[in-house]
Chains A and B, each alone.
Chain A
Amino acid sequence: MKLTVRVWRQKNARREGRFAEYEVQDASPDMSFLEMLDVLNERLIRQGEEPIHFDSDCREGICGMCSCVINGEAHGPESQVTTCQTYMRSFKDGDVITVEPFRAMAFPLIKDLVVDRSALDRIIQAGGFISVTTGSAPEANSIPVSKYHSDLAMDAAACIGCGACVAACKNASANLFVAAKVAHLNLLPQGGPEKDPRVLGMVEAMTSEGFGACSVTGSCEAVCPKGIPTSFISRMNHNFLTAALKLRVHGPRG
């Protein structure tokens, strides 16, 4: 496959960025998008040029590290996959592919396609801990969990924290991410005792980190590599509003 790849190049947060155009002559349809960038980078290194910086880790769609916006879509054209699981067969020979970093005020750019997503980690920290006895394994049936709620909590826990929801949202809102993280603990009895301080802390952190409000557009759900539905956002809103209207909530804070 012959491709033209337009990539955002930016030396660091202080410098101006621009798009650079590269011809890729030898892409195979079986390559992942990141492998195509690897091939391009090897050539750039051979030519003595600075390779394109991008995030990647597991390359099997579960770590949430890869983070490009490809032709206007976070993680590329296929649904429910990450950039590393996007294959070149999703593109046509001769295509011009524009690759941009995740854009959000809360995700400061580090270099090229690499952005700092530690705001998401700080939101998790603001959620605090769960009260479980560590050490010996508890008796399996001592805490009953309904099938419905365990399934729902598992769906929420599928979030890999990649930040595609933020990248795709017109408001750079992190509501889907935070909603998934709130739900996967708040739905289970183990997360129950700290349910109120957790949601209050995480929502406050989300606002102060500079993420926008939710406009319920559904773009986040459409690009989420784990297909987490926006109904979790409504669940978080419910958790938050009921906790907030209590005004005084006592409990631990991370």
Chain B
Amino acid sequence: MNQTSVGMNSLWKVFTTTIGKKAVMAATGGVLLLFVIAHMAGNLQMFLGWGDINNYADLLKSHREFLWPFRVFLATCLVLHVSTGSFLAIDNRRKRGHSYEVKKLVGASFASQTMWISGLIIFCFIVYHLLHFTLGVTNPEYLTFRDAHDRPDVYRMIVTAFSTAGTVCLYALGVATLGFHLSHGVRAMVESLGLRMETWASRIDKTSLVVACLLFLGFASVPLAVLMGLLQLK
């Protein structure tokens, strides 16, 4: 026994513990969650009409001094989330040692058991989504669309992209996986940050499901509305 300093002494040592690593997962996941909420709110402006969504897109894209630092910050969070998550997924698997003969899911949701799989699907979806809309690799013509004010025509891009059922299906699957991941992810995030205590526990679990459902509905509504002809090129 000693009376000297027994603290973590360096921030690095905090991250050598499993709780420290989960805190990284939660903090970066939290940033990504706030981003997808803002992203969804932005997308819903499609329902306000041609001018509004293009206005919004122009606002975001015209501030390069904010756009790029934000993109770098978001990418850093994604890299930390994916790398820590991959490390934990592999490490946790080893901690069982010998596997059980009879495997039974007790008290756990299916989503909680498959976070790395849903995470991997979402990662692939993000890569496709960036190639599709942001970088214009799959459909270079999207970036040439211009509206009456000579701004990037996001409205036309969205309506054109989602007029094919295949693309809508792909996006619906992508955002469904995101919802599935977050149905467990939100409560796990709050738990890992040490805020899911006593009377709050069941409320947070329910909130997690509600957030996941709302995000799915919010994201899926735009492609579905285009496919059903509710959003059209006038």
List chain A positions with a Cβ less than 8 A from chain B. 6, 8, 19, 69, 71-74, 98, 100, 103-106, 109, 128, 152, 168, 170-173, 175, 196-197, 200-201, 203-204, 206-207, 210-223, 229-231, 233-254
CB distance from B157 to the nearest CB of A (A): 39
List A contacts of B198 (CB < 8 A). 152, 231
With A103-B100, A215-B92, A244-B14 as contacts: A253 and B19 at CB distance below 8 Å: no
Flag if B106 contacts A223 (CB, 8 Å).
Answer: yes
Of the candidates B2, B22, B98, B103, the one whose C-beta lies within 8 Å of that of A213 is B22
**B106 pairs with A253, CB closer than 8 A:** no
Instruction: Tell me whether B187 and A216 are in contact (CB under 8 A).
Output: yes
Contact of B194 with A239 in the complex, beta carbons under 8 Å: yes
The segment from B4-12, B45-53, B144-152 that touches chain A is B4-12
Contacting pair A73 B95 (CB below 8 A): no
Tell me the complex Cα distance, A141–B1, Å.
31
Q: Which residues of B contact A69 (CB under 8 A)?
A: 100, 102
Residue of B nearest to A170 (CB): B113
Taken together as a complex, chains A and B put the C-alpha atoms of A212 and B191 apart, in Å, by 16
Q: Is residue B173 within 8 Å, beta carbon to beta carbon, of the partner chain?
A: no
| Chain B, residue nearest A171 (CB) | B92
Which one of B21, B93, B95, B109 has the highest number of Cβ atoms from chain A below 10 Å of its Cβ?
B95
| Inter-chain contacts of A201 with B (CB < 8 A) | 6
Max chain A Cβ within 10 angstroms of own Cβ: one of B113, B194, B201: B194
Residue from the list A98, A152, A213, A236 in contact with B92, Cβ < 8 A = A213
Q: Which residues of B are interface residues toward A (Cβ below 8 A)?
A: 1-11, 14, 16-23, 88, 91-109, 112-113, 115, 184, 187-188, 190-198, 200-201
In the assembled complex, the Cα of A217 lies from the Cα of B110 at a distance in Å of: 9
With contacts A72-B102, A246-B7 taken as known, whether A235 is within 8 angstroms of B97 at the C-beta atoms is no
Contacts known (A248-B5, A248-B9, A249-B6); A237 close to B193, Cβ less than 8 A: yes
Are A212 and B95 interface neighbours, CB within 8 A?
A: yes
CB-CB nearest 9 A-B residue pairs: A222-B107, A238-B194, A72-B104, A212-B95, A72-B102, A249-B7, A171-B92, A217-B108, A237-B194
B-side contacts of A215, CB under 8 Å: 92, 112, 115, 188
B184 to chain A, nearest CB (A): 7
Look across to chain A and name the residue whose beta carbon is closest to the beta carbon of B19.
A240
State A211–B18 Cα separation when bound (angstroms).
Answer: 9
* Known A100-B102, A105-B97, A238-B195; contact A217-B109, beta-carbon cutoff 8 A: yes
Give, as a whole number of angstroms, the nearest-CB distance from B105 to chain A: 8
Instruction: Tell me how far the C-beta of B141 lies from the nearest C-beta in chain A, rounded to whole angstroms.
Output: 44
Question: Are B112 and A249 neighbours in the complex by a CB distance under 8 Å?
Answer: no
Contact A250 B3, beta carbon cutoff 8 Å? yes
- Whether A234 and B191, one on each chain, are in contact in the complex, defined by CB atoms closer than 8 angstroms, is yes
CA distance A72 to B108 in the complex (A): 14
Highest count of chain A CB atoms <10 Å: which of B10, B106, B194: B106
Interface centre among B1, B104, B113 (most CB of A within 10 A): B104
A73 to B200, CA, bound (A): 28
Contact between B20 and A244 (Cβ–Cβ < 8 Å)? yes
Q: How far is it, in angstroms, between the C-alpha of A175 and the C-alpha of B2 when the chains are bound?
A: 26
Which of B20, B23, B94, B197 is the one whose CB lies under 8 Å from A235? Answer: B197
Q: List, in ascending order, chain A residues with CB within 8 A of B107's CB.
A: 168, 217-223
- B101 near A19 (CB under 8 angstroms)? yes
Q: A175-B19, A213-B91, A238-B193 are in contact. List 17 more A-B contacts (CB 8 A).
A: A73-B106, A104-B96, A170-B113, A171-B92, A171-B95, A172-B97, A203-B19, A216-B192, A229-B201, A230-B201, A234-B194, A238-B197, A247-B8, A247-B11, A249-B5, A252-B2, A253-B1
